[in-house]
Amino acid sequence: MESTAKRADARRNEKALLDAAASVFVTDGVDAPVRRIAAAAGVGMGTIYRHFPTRADLVVAVYRHQVDACADAGPTLLASAASPFTALRQWVDLFADFLVTKHGLAAAMRNDPDTFTALHALFLDRLVPVLDDLLAAARNAGEVTAEFTAYQLLRAIGDICAGAEMVDAQYDPRLTIRLLLDGCR
C-alpha cells in the first residue's frame, strides 16, 4: 500500500512540475532557466533533472502532458457546458492556451526530428477526435452549420496563433479565433 501511495505522490509531484514548467514556458519560452522552473514548482533543480535528464525530455513531457489535458477536457466540457457550441468555444480557448506553450518547441526539437514527428502524430491522434466530437455535437444542435473538418479547424487555429508573440501589440489571436468560430455558426 505504501508503494501505491508513493507512486500517487510521485505522479502528483510530476504533474505539479509539468504544470509549473508549462507556465514558465508561456512567459519565458522553452529555453527558460531550469532554476526558474524549479522555483515555480517548489522543488530543487535535482528533482527536475532526476525526472527529466535533458531539457528536451522536459519539453517533450510538458507537450505530452498538455496534449493529454486538452484531450481529456473535451468530454468534460461537452458534459458540463450550457451548449455544445459553448463547449467548443471553451475547448478552443484551452487549445489556444496550449499552442502558446509550444512557442520554441520546433527550435528545441530541431536536433531530434524523430521525436518531433512522434509528438505531431500524438497531437493529431489525441486532439482531432476530441474536436470532431465537439463539432458533431454542435452541428447536431444546429449551432455550427459550416462544413469543415476538425483537422482543418485545428490548422486554422494553429495558423492564427503561430507567431502571435512576434506580431504587433494590436494583434489578438483570441479575437481572431472568436471571429473564426462565429463564422462557423
63-119: pLDDT as tens digits: 899 899 999 999 999 999 999 999 999 999 999 888 866 666 666 666 677 877 888
**d(Cα 160, Cα 98) in Å, to the nearest integer?**
13
For the segment 124-138, what is each residue's pLDDT rounded down to a tens digit? 999 999 999 999 999
Task: Please tell me the predicted confidence (pLDDT) of residue 109.
Answer: 63
Q: Which residues of 148-166 are buried (b: 16+ CB within 10 A; e: fewer)?
A: eebeebbeebeebbeebee
**d(Cα 145, Cα 90) in Å, to the nearest integer?**
18
Lowest-confidence pick of 91-95, 144-148, 172-176: 172-176
pLDDT above 60 for 2: no
Reported in sequence order, the residue ranges of 58-179 that DSSP labels E, i.e. its strands, are: none
Indicate the average pLDDT of the chain. 87
pLDDT above 90 for 36: yes
> What type of residue sits at position 177?
I
Nearest-10 crossing angle of helices 84-101, 2-28 = 80
Question: Comparing 123 with 84, which gets the higher pLDDT?
Answer: 84
pTM of the model: 0.82
Burial of 177 (0-12, 13-18, 19+ CB in 10 A): buried
Distance of CA 25 to the CA centre of its chain: 12
- Provide the pLDDT confidence category of residue 174 given band limits of 50, 70 and 90: confident
CA angle in degrees (0–180, nearest 5) for 166-169-174: 85
